[in-house]
Amino acid sequence: MLDVEKIRGDFPILNSGIVYFDNAASSLTPEQVIQKMVEFYREYRANVERGVHKLSQKASREYEEAHAKAARLINASSSSEIIMTKNATEGINLVANGINWRKGDTIVTTLMEHHSNFIVWLRLKERYRVNVRVVKPDEEGNLNPQSFEEAADEKTKLVAVTHVSNVLGSITPVKEISRIAHKVGAQILIDGAQSAPHIPIDVKEIDCDYFVFSGHKMLGPTGIGILYIREDRLDDVKPPFIGGGTISEGSSKGYKLGGSPTRFEAGTPPIAEAIGLGAAIDYLMKVGLRDVESHERRLAEKTCAGLREIEGVEVYGPRGHLSRVGIIPFNVKGLNPHDVALMLDSLANIMVRSGYHCAMPLMKELLGLEEGSVRASLYLYNTESEVEKFLSVITELTTTLK
């Protein structure tokens, strides 16, 4: 079980009295991560790789260790499978623009996706005349593997699916979907932006080809993410950007690409951010993601149950707390989602997200929400008393409207 009060002491921003329920957009950052990044700038600020002086050697070791930590987090086989990116969006685009597409290839994705794992495939449809098939979830946001059996065939080159919906919090049965994809000879990309911060990940057990996540949602700095490419797929993805340290040999007549991850990390990388992400991974692994998962599910169950008891509030997503993480979308009858978010902020210092959450197809086509929703999203430093305060304020808002 988490020692939440001890954990909260690691987050200086919480001393301001805020209730931070916007974790699906970006988490807060613990002091340990902040200090690790400050240490880089104060003690060994230098570029990585190929430098022989001691500052460069130290920076290079820390940068490479960040790859190793990310590999351990998701149980990758080696650091060569871990590529530092700007965020999950860049990781998805790197794969999308690195695969050799042909007219008639099929991509299977879902209506659940964040725009980053949806619009990119529509662009490929325009550019290469590939086919895009969209699997729809049920009304609660649950994806049925049988739908992928029906959508995927011998022309399917890639299945791209979210692990956890950033809108509904529902958990996708990715292991079964991966099996279905591989059965027809397709590869599978999993968007883990909302799963890696909250639940244990094992890419070997899932048996995925690609997995992406972002640092800023998991206690790390902004501007850093991870793309996992399974070792036997590394040559299937051509680096869309080259230069700097991406080559092992070069002349006026040609060049030879280096190994992974350097071939994918063109130019000077976000060194401080990568080191900060490594520190965030250390923090999460020390706390224990199983305990993080259990803590969030208890809070999510309390939040969902409390909201459903308030007249005039509609909650979306799976009803079973074991089928979701701590992402709770809802609306208050008679109020625009943005107005609810503004009132929570101004009246009670409670931070939530409002709008479409970068998932317009899901919002409009599945849920029929033309103005989007309010989204409360929880993390390891949130408490039951914060949930109670949140529910009390929502109750007050609905009472005032009567």
Clarify whether residues 327 and 258 are in a common domain: no
* Long-range own/partner contacts, residues 331-340 (CB < 8 A, 24 or more apart): 331/369, 331/373, 331/374, 332/374, 332/394, 332/397, 332/398, 332/401, 333/398, 333/401, 334/401, 335/397, 335/401, 336/371, 337/371, 337/372, 337/373, 337/374, 338/371, 340/374, 340/397
Of 250, 285, 320, the residue at which a domain comes to its end is 285
State mean pLDDT over 325-330.
97
Of 240, 261, 285, the residue at which a domain comes to its end is 285
At residue 244 the predicted structure's pLDDT band, cuts being 50, 70 and 90, is confident
Q: Which of 281, 358, 359, 387 is catalytic?
A: 358
Clarify whether residues 10 and 79 are in a common domain: no
Report the pLDDT value the prediction gives residue 402, as an integer from 0 to 100.
59
- What is d(CA 402, CA 17) in angstroms, rounded to the nearest whole number? 30
Clarify whether residues 307 and 273 are in a common domain: no
Clarify whether residues 88 and 223 are in a common domain: yes
Clarify whether residues 169 and 216 are in a common domain: yes
Report the pLDDT value the prediction gives residue 49, as an integer from 0 to 100.
84
Q: How many domains does the chain have?
A: 2
- pLDDT(39) > 90: yes
Contact in structure between 198 and 14 (CB atoms under 8 Å): no
- The CATH number assigned to the domain holding 356 equals 3.90.1150.10
Residue 26 in any domain: the answer is no
Q: Are strands 247-251 and 254-257 parallel, antiparallel or unpaired?
A: antiparallel
- pLDDT(269) > 70: yes
State mean pLDDT over 57-85.
98
Domain extent for 193: 33-285
Report the pLDDT value the prediction gives residue 401, as an integer from 0 to 100.
72
208 counts as catalytic = no
Report the pLDDT value the prediction gives residue 121, as an integer from 0 to 100.
99
How far from 322 is each of 161, 292, 318, 385, CA to CA, in Å?
A: 20, 14, 9, 22
- pLDDT(322) > 90: no
Report the pLDDT value the prediction gives residue 320, as an integer from 0 to 100.
78
- The CATH number assigned to the domain holding 280 equals 3.40.640.10
Clarify whether residues 269 and 317 are in a common domain: no
- pLDDT(41) > 90: yes
pLDDT tens-digit readout, 273-320: 999 999 999 999 999 999 999 999 999 999 999 999 999 999 999 987
Clarify whether residues 174 and 76 are in a common domain: yes
Q: Are strands 313-315 and 156-162 parallel, antiparallel or unpaired?
A: unpaired
Q: How much is the pTM? A: 0.97
Clarify whether residues 221 and 150 are in a common domain: yes
Report the pLDDT value the prediction gives residue 51, as an integer from 0 to 100.
86
Number of Cβ within 10 Å of residue 155's Cβ equals 15
Of 259, 285, 311, the residue at which a domain comes to its end is 285
Report the pLDDT value the prediction gives residue 45, as an integer from 0 to 100.
97
Clarify whether residues 378 and 311 are in a common domain: yes
Clarify whether residues 279 and 316 are in a common domain: no
Clarify whether residues 316 and 224 are in a common domain: no
State mean pLDDT over 228-254.
93
Clarify whether residues 297 and 278 are in a common domain: no
Number of Cβ within 10 Å of residue 251's Cβ equals 7
